[in-house]
Amino acid sequence: MWKNDPSAAFNNPAAMAFIDHNVAQVSVHHARVSLKYKGNVYDHQGDLRSDRDLEFDPAGNPTGNIIDNGPITNDGGQGGFGKALPTSFLVMPINDRLSFGLSQVVPMGAQTTWDGDWKGQDFAVDTKIETVGLTGSLSFKVNDAFAVGGGVIVQHTKGFISQNLDLLAAAGTPSSQLPLGLPPGISDALIRVKVDNTSFGWFAGVAWKPTERDTLGLNYHARIRNKLEGNYNIHADQYSYDLMTNPLFPPVFGDATAIELAFPGLNLNPDGADAKSRLDIPASATLDWVHEFNNRFSLGVSVTWTQWSSFKELKLESSGNTLVVIPYNYKDTWMYSIGGDYLVTDQLTLRAGVALDQTPTRNSTRDARIPDGDRTFVSFGGSYRFASEPNLSIDAAYSHQFVDKARLRTVNQDRLGGASMDGEVKAKGDVFSLSATYKF
């Protein structure tokens, strides 16, 4: 809702009606997130998650003995990431009442990368969710004080997850129909799932200027339904591979594998198969107010509600077969922010702000895949308008995220090994932004 801000093309298209000239903006944001886990991971028997091997004789035949290498001590390393995210906006007035906007945005994203051999490998190794959207929007100025607007978005979403499957441990969990009686930590099978989808959505807003110095805005971004499709494969050791592919005992069980007998209806193909999942982009609504105290100082506040309660679970399916269902039961969130800008000179403007953002995760279902906590953003920056080219300005900003410790007390699904976590994740984040804005 800030004056002449081209990001209105996506954030609130109604505000484009109060921009009286063509304006374009190109930005790049570099996000850097640090994640550190501290705590324990237990197997389904209640012991510390350990690494074990089967013993072989010189001829390569198993002796039946198990070598216990002791509890895994690797806490996962630095589970965060660094990534550059581009955005761009364009607003073009058509006439005194109509304005048109285009934008390229990144509506949502998440990423964690833990060491492949860490103690929580049965919960998560790699997680990556990337979205990019292209939007088109229109605004209509009803009168000099009120405008409405709306737009559509075409969005491409990519998802990738990986984690270890302790199949021998899974076969020994309480829900298994075929308890093998082997201790956890013997088998290694890394499942990798890659899916994507292109989907469509819409957004709308209103803008009202009750006085010459005040602007109020309300916008709504509708839920985008995302049915992701792709494939999965499993990099497994020989024992895990045999559990998934070889009939256990044909004279009695026919062609059924040990995994199919342990979990009826579960069919894993280590050589690869199709994969389907669903990850909707939640609906959100934002109320903004910007007040210009004078020609130099403006202050804005906003409140955003996000309907994260629409995310109940992560389900992975293949050829009509449910591989796993992980409950999350997210809750709706609120984000509150306040910020201001001060025109120091005709060329230099300084900005600062703070925001409080609630996490949608719950203590009972939060895991290492997205170990989110409530966060506070503290941001500052500025813009410089060139005297030799007054239509061009360069903006730079820095934002630091103070994130509350995220407690992890998650119990894994039995078919994933049945392990449990008892620890916490410390997180922090930084975002550096650079923008160029041009009026024409």
Token pair listed for 432: 């550096």
The yes-or-no verdict on residue 60 having pLDDT over 80 is: no
In a domain? residue 2: no
| 157 belongs to a structural domain | yes
pLDDT mean across residues, the chain = 94
CATH number at 48 reads: 2.40.160.60
Using a pLDDT cut of 90, give the percent of the chain over it: 80
Predicted local distance difference test score (pLDDT) of residue 65 = 86
Which residue segment(s) compose the domain that 29 sits in?
8-439
Task: Give dist(CA 148, CA 110) in Å, integer.
Answer: 32
Give yes or no for residue 222 having a pLDDT over 90. yes
| pLDDT for position 53 | 85
Any domain includes 189: yes
Q: Quick one: pLDDT at residue 249?
A: 85
Are 45 and 184 contacting, i.e. CB atoms less than 8 angstroms apart? yes
Residue 1 pLDDT greater than 80, yes or no: no
Structural domain count, the chain: 1
Q: Is residue 40 part of a domain?
A: yes
Q: Is 174 exposed, middle or buried (0-12, 13-18, 19+ CB in 10 A)?
A: exposed
Cβ neighbors of 79 (< 8 A, separation 6 or more) are: 35, 36, 37, 112, 113, 114, 368, 371, 425
Backbone phi and psi for residue 191, each to the nearest 5 degrees, phi listed first: -90, 135
The H-assigned helical ranges of 26-174 are 167-170
Looking at the DSSP bridge assignments, the partners of residue 24 are 90, 438
> Does 182 reside within a domain?
yes
Residue 417 clears pLDDT 70, i.e. is over it: yes
Which of 68-77, 177-186, 248-257, 411-420 shows the lowest per-residue confidence on average (mean pLDDT)?
Answer: 177-186
C-beta separation of 301 from 289 below 8 A: yes
Which residues, 6+ apart, have CB-to-CB distance to 412 below 8 Å? 122, 123, 418, 419, 420
Q: Has residue 202 been placed in a domain?
A: yes
pLDDT of 13 > 70? The answer is yes
- Among 160-164, 166-170, 398-402, the range scoring the smallest mean pLDDT is 166-170
The percent of residues above 70 in pLDDT, for the chain, comes to 99
Whether pTM > 0.85 for this model: the answer is yes
Confirm whether 3 is domain-assigned.
Answer: no
The pLDDT of residue 232: 97
Within-domain flag for 1: no
